[in-house]
Amino acid sequence: MRPTLLPSLPGTVSAVLLVLACATASLPAQNATFARFAAACPTTTGNLVVQGLPKLGTSFTVSGIRFPDGCTFRFCGCNPGPSNSCSGSLLVIGVRRVQVPLPPSGCALRVSTEAILAGAGPAGDVVLAVPNNAVLVGYQFHMQRADVGMVETILPNCQITYPIQGFRGWSDALTGTIGL
């Protein structure tokens, strides 16, 4: 039985970006770019990996967003309860930069949390589509990966869940600028 994970939401993310962009003033035409603005903390698995650029009418891929990643499915039959500590990660997308320290690591969340997504497939890909709408040109958004600790848990109906037990660290943070 495959675990139930967060749903794939590329359309929802596109809608979130479009609504947030419509609420801002029109910006001049720009090239699509990604720029790092904060380093990864020492307790994390490294930097964000992005393929592509946030260009109108295209998509880009963020890899390594695995939820859950380090779970080994160590259980026999349907024995309800916690069965395995494991790790994973989530992608945080926001429209503002923030500085939220997370003790005891000393690392900080650097992105407001308008969307939190899980990846799909063996690479943990999150594919984000940029709508082909000129109002988005010049719009900026921010991304950061949250590395989390989880406990693989079997529910009485034999479904598997992964409640998050705590944050292990944050990746570097990126600013994306939507362009042509």
Residue 114 has pLDDT above 70, yes or no: yes
* Exposure b/e, 27-56, CB count within 10 A at least 16 = b: eeeeebeeeeebebbeebeeebebeebbbb
Would you say 92 and 108 are in contact if contact means Cβ atoms under 8 Å apart? no
Query: What number is the average pLDDT over the span 75-96?
Result: 80
- pLDDT for 121 equals 79
In angstroms, rounded to a whole number, what is the distance separating the alpha carbons of residues 145 and 40?
9
- pLDDT for 92 equals 94
Query: What number is the average pLDDT over the span 113-140?
Result: 91
Domain coordinates of the chain in residue numbers?
A: 10-177
Residue 89 has pLDDT above 60, yes or no: yes
- pLDDT for 42 equals 83
- pLDDT for 24 equals 45
In Å, what is the CA distance from 145 to each residue of 89, 109, 168?
Answer: 7, 9, 11
- pLDDT for 74 equals 59
Residue 14 has pLDDT above 60, yes or no: no
Which pLDDT band holds residue 43 (cuts at 50, 70, 90)? Answer: confident
* Exposure b/e, 138-164, CB count within 10 A at least 16 = b: bbbbbbbbbbbebbbbbeeeeebebee
Would you say 41 and 107 are in contact if contact means Cβ atoms under 8 Å apart? yes
Residue 105 has pLDDT above 80, yes or no: no
Mean pLDDT across the chain: 80
- Which of 28, 23, 42 has its CA nearest to residue 170? 42
Chain segment 19-37, per-residue pLDDT in tens: 445 444 444 558 999 999 9
Ranking 70-84, 91-105, 127-141, 164-178 by mean pLDDT, the lowest is 70-84
